[in-house]
Structure 1
Amino acid sequence: MALPLLTLYHRPGCHLCEQAGAHLDALNFRYEWVNVDADPGLRARYGDDVPVLACGERVLGKGAFSRGRLSQVKVLLLREAAGRS
């Protein structure tokens, strides 16, 4: 069962963003990086809340992401995917 492609909204130089990316990689998430500072609309929406993890328009979380927290997100997404099968 494949996980959906997620979006990690980030800001260059943000240590919490870099940490979130490392944890996402370690847990084999599929995700893309989006720089909030490159888009005024995203900057207005997320401000200083980065990192923000989203699945489409659905925000899964903001702020610090530990491996434990991301493991819980992964279980949730896998359960949701199984329910759609």
Structure 2
Amino acid sequence: MSDVSPPQYDAQVVLYTRQGCHCCENAEAVVRKFVSDITRVDIDSDPELLQKFNTLVPVVEINGKVRFRGKVSPMLLERTLAAEARQAAGPAS
């Protein structure tokens, strides 16, 4: 039996990163435990993003909102994704 479970949340996740960023690689590994579809954006390819996020990467945006800068806490990430899923589901009937 494997300890690895498939990603369980459906959210639009954007990971702002740059080449050679070890923290960015770690952040992606954490996010992939919960979400399978991640859009990676290299900030060095866009002067506006470079100015906005230069020393803050990795930056994790979930459903259009920046939720993490720097280190990504697995516990806080899971709580954030669960809250986003509840919000998307709407009020319980």
Unpaired segments ≥5 residues, structure 1: none
My pick for the range that moved more, 70-79 or 41-50, is: 70-79
Unpaired segments ≥5 residues, structure 2: 1-7
Give the length in aligned residue pairs. 85
> Considering only aligned residues, what root-mean-square deviation do their CA atoms show, in Å?
2.2
What TM-score do you get using the length of structure 1 for normalisation? 0.83
My pick for the range that moved more, 50-59 or 6-15, is: 50-59
What TM-score do you get using the length of structure 2 for normalisation? 0.77
Identity value in percent? 31
- Is the helix fraction higher in 1 or 2? 1
Paired residue type of 1:6: V
Are residues 1:21 and 2:28 paired?
A: yes
Q: Larger RCO: Structure 1 or Structure 2 (Cα < 8 Å, ≥ 6 residues apart)? A: 1
Moved over 3 A (4+): none
Are the equivalent residues in 2 in contact too, given 1:3–1:77 (CA < 8 A)?
Answer: no
Are the equivalent residues in 1 in contact too, given 2:9–2:81 (CA < 8 A)?
Answer: no
